[in-house]
Amino acid sequence: MKLPWLKFYPSDWLSDEALRGCTPAARGLWVDMICLMAKSKRHGYLLAGDKPMTAEHLARIFGQSLETTSELLIELAQAGVYSMDNDTIFSRRMVKEEGGRKSNRERVLRWRNGHVMPMKSLS
């Protein structure tokens, strides 16, 4: 389920040393990537439909050349800002939070359904 909003903590954004060590352009690319990952079918993963988003696709979205975008992706990778799963970029934090959200939802549903008692027949 796609959420219409994104948890964003300004204090975390400003205190992430790995990210703060990157250029403003790389940080701008990262925030765009976060927004794309939030809209993804698989929350936290950078996908175009069902496939990993390519640098070319990301460059068009970001509005920069392929060369510039590739350099910024390398900068973010070297700083350890994102992780890779096969060929797919993902945000560790977003994936962790999504897992927690799903786990919490399942727990709440089990609790609610555990307290439902079948109605007794009136006859």
Residue 101 CA to residue 122 CA, distance in Å, equals 40
Q: Which two tokens stand for residue 18?
A: 């790995």
Q: Which two tokens stand for residue 24?
A: 């403003």
Mean pLDDT, the chain, rounded, equals: 85
Put simply, whether the predicted model's pTM sits higher than 0.85 gets the answer no
Give just the sign of the alpha carbon dihedral 103, 92, 41, 24: positive
117 has pLDDT over 60: no
- Do residues 19 and 79 make contact, with C-beta atoms less than 8 angstroms apart? yes
The pLDDT value recorded for residue 108 is: 66
> Which of 28-37, 44-53, 75-84, 92-101 has the weakest average pLDDT?
92-101
Q: Which two tokens stand for residue 10?
A: 């300004």
